[in-house]
Amino acid sequence: MEELPQGPLAQGNKEHGTGRVVTSWERLSTRFVHRSSHFELYEDILQLPNGETMLYTRFESPPFSTVVPVTDEGEIVFVDNYRPPVGESLLELPGGMMDPGETPRQTALRELEEETGYRAKKLVLLGWFYPSPHISSHRGNLFMARNLVKGKARPEESEGLRTILLPVRDAYKKLRAGQIHQSTAMLGLFMAEPFMTELKPRLRA
């Protein structure tokens, strides 16, 4: 299920459906613009295949790992997450950014335990994705966690988190009814769906 991103920064000759031939894009220069707790902002000067140059702004932040944790009782462990930019709490899956030196898998296990208290004995990679490749190279990894052992959550104060358990079927009903709106949570549920043994009796019926 895993595939690594292909190709160098400037891609080679490429036939173009509109009749133009794309030779390559080149990054001529990069200027650091701003640093925040979540990301860094850069301005690039890019040279287009037609020779023109353009200013291109992007932000960079570490990769993140998100987990679809399923308890032995057939419940998915969500977090109710207050998100300041949208001014509301969203139903999301546990996860967060990689700390220096961590693997995506280690991040997934650490964030799961920090945010919900659950430790997972089984962790399967579902896949990876670019959330916003038009403005950032940062990427997310999605895992499914099973064989969970309950411990004590210790979220950061600033996270405004609350753990919410939903039976697998109820979670997918919510998803299909358009009641889950954070894209990573939606993606995680869709990608984990074929592996949800709790849903199988229903599919067979």
Residues of this chain, 124-143, that bind a second copy according to CB under 8 A: 127-137, 140
Please count the residues of the chain: 205
Active-site residue, 102 included: no
For residue 190, give both structure tokens.
């869709």
Helix (H, G, I), strand (E, B) or coil at 24: coil
Whose structure tokens read 């997934």?
108
Q: Which of 3, 49, 1, 57 is nearest to 26 (CA)?
A: 49
Instruction: Write the binding mask 88 to 117 for a second copy: x where contact by CB under 8 A, - elsewhere.
Output: xxx---------------------------
CA distances from 109 to 15, 105, 113 (A): 43, 6, 6
Q: Is 194 in the site for a second copy (CB under 8 A)?
A: yes
Q: How far is the CB of 105 from a second copy (least distance, A)?
A: 16
- For a second copy, the binding residue among 13, 17, 100, 205 (CB under 8 A) is 17
Asked if residues 142 and 125 have their Cβ atoms less than 8 Å apart, the reply is: yes
Instruction: Write the binding mask 40 to 79 for a second copy: x where contact by CB under 8 A, - elsewhere.
Output: -x-xx-x-xxx-x-xxxxxxx-------------------
Q: Is 11 in the site for a second copy (CB under 8 A)?
A: yes
The size of the interface with a second copy (CB under 8 A), counted in residues, is 82
